[in-house]
Copies of this chain bind each other. A is one copy, B any other.
Amino acid sequence: MSLAEAGHDSEASLETVMQTLGRNAKAAMRTLSRAGEEQKNRALRMAADAIRAQAGDILEANERDVAAGRDRGLRASLLDRLALDRNRLGGVACGLEAIADLPDPVGSVMASWTRPNGLEISRVRTPLGVIGIIYESRPNVTADAGGICIKSGNAAILRGGSESLHSSSAIASCLCQGLEAAGLPASAVQLVPTRDRAAVGHMLTMPEWIDIIVPRGGRSLIERVQNESRIPVIAHLDGLCHVYLDRAADPDMARNIVLNAKMRRTSVCGAAETLLVDRAAASTLLPPVAAALTEVGCSLRGDAQARQLVPEMEPATEADWSTEYLDAILAVRLVDGIDGAIGHVNRYGSSHTDTIVTGDGAVAERFLDEVDSAIVLHNASTQYADGGEFGMGAEIGISTGRLHARGPVSVEQLTSFKYVVRGNGQTRP
């Protein structure tokens, strides 16, 4: 904390701070990457214990952050994300223990084969290296992200939102205590110890120290990171998710899935934003769905043909097909069957999560095959887009990119691999 309290005088000293973090991370990674499963799990459990034991200090640090945020006029929703209490902090500790319970991906043999010349080749999972995580003022992410990195054998450089610096420092300190108690280097998890926003720019341009950048936050953060980073980025950009009701959809299932996909939680990335309805069955399928949504407070924006069936809808504009509302608003459009649905999703979607409701297996398979999204579902809600729901445990986010990790990003997705070749003297002819 001394660095954070002292601040720094110049760009040169920030550069020094960041370079030191990078160098420390790389060194710690060499040790952590070879640590066994038990040792890493011990670190995670000891960190959870430390969080419980030091709850008073953490909550006091959090109160300072929240008070400062309130003074600076932080929005209520951001203050809510920033605030911790005993209950939330207990959840943070349990989250670390849940990560300890996940299988360790490192060292697992992904494939192995023997060549005609007798060489035995295996592809073995390894950690990725040093992961830079940039997120908003949500102190719980400090524990989640740090914990996932520890489990996957990666060193972490964490840059939390500046409003959460006291809380995140207190939590990061518990992670470091856990690492040390397990005999691992404390610098395997380092929090950027300054509020200076220029620190992010340094992180994005240290490919010599950081192997991968994971931004977690709003669109402006992600876009800045994607534009400026000299390091590969794994990111979730938009969650513009669709529900398509096919002519062969069961009306009750259609209604339940739309209601859940839109309204279970409207602020999550897997929430549906656009409802597509097969023109051939729209007069049967759409009115009851619309009525159910309206009843629970969802406002609807329909195209001209949808509004002929449900005149209460506001008119949708072209912009609505590209809008991630993250609110109780749903765009509604009639389409020409499965071709129209696939065409719309691939044109306007964000390659995140899309679902089809239909009793027609062949039509479902076309949707699953041809919709180009990280997660495609048949007869299930888009709100299942979640690493936990997939059985993958804690996630660091859902990647909408196609490279390396697509969909939920958990410990396994934060690994690389190496080829291990065993011979008995082979030389290449």
A residues within 8 Å of B by Cβ? 30, 33-34, 113, 115, 119, 121, 126, 128-129, 207, 211-212, 226-227, 230, 232, 250, 253, 256-257, 259-261, 264, 346, 364, 368-370, 372-381, 383-384, 389-391, 401-404, 406-407, 416-428
- Chain B nearest CB from A419 CB (Å) reads 5
Check A428/B368 contact, CB under 8 A, given A227-B230, A418-B374: no
* Residue in B34, B232, B250 whose CB lies within 8 Å of A370: B34
* Residue in B373, B383, B390, B427 whose CB lies within 8 Å of A260: B427
How far is B373's CA from A129's CA once the two chains are assembled, in angstroms? 12
The answer to whether A384 and B227 touch across the interface, beta carbons within 8 angstroms, is no
The answer to whether A115 and B403 touch across the interface, beta carbons within 8 angstroms, is no
How far is B425's CA from A404's CA once the two chains are assembled, in angstroms? 31
How far is B392's CA from A115's CA once the two chains are assembled, in angstroms? 11
- Tell me what chain A mostly uses at the interface: helix, strand, loop, or mixed: mixed
The answer to whether B34 and A379 touch across the interface, beta carbons within 8 angstroms, is no
The answer to whether B419 and A407 touch across the interface, beta carbons within 8 angstroms, is yes
Check A418/B384 contact, CB under 8 A, given A389-B428, A428-B389: no
The answer to whether A390 and B426 touch across the interface, beta carbons within 8 angstroms, is no
The answer to whether B129 and A379 touch across the interface, beta carbons within 8 angstroms, is no
Interchain residue pairs with CB less than 8 A apart (18)? A30-B372, A34-B369, A121-B390, A121-B391, A126-B372, A129-B402, A232-B401, A260-B427, A261-B427, A375-B419, A376-B419, A376-B420, A377-B422, A378-B422, A379-B422, A380-B423, A403-B404, A406-B418
Check A260/B404 contact, CB under 8 A, given A376-B419, A418-B376: no
Q: Which residues of B contact A384 (CB under 8 A)?
A: 119, 421, 426, 428
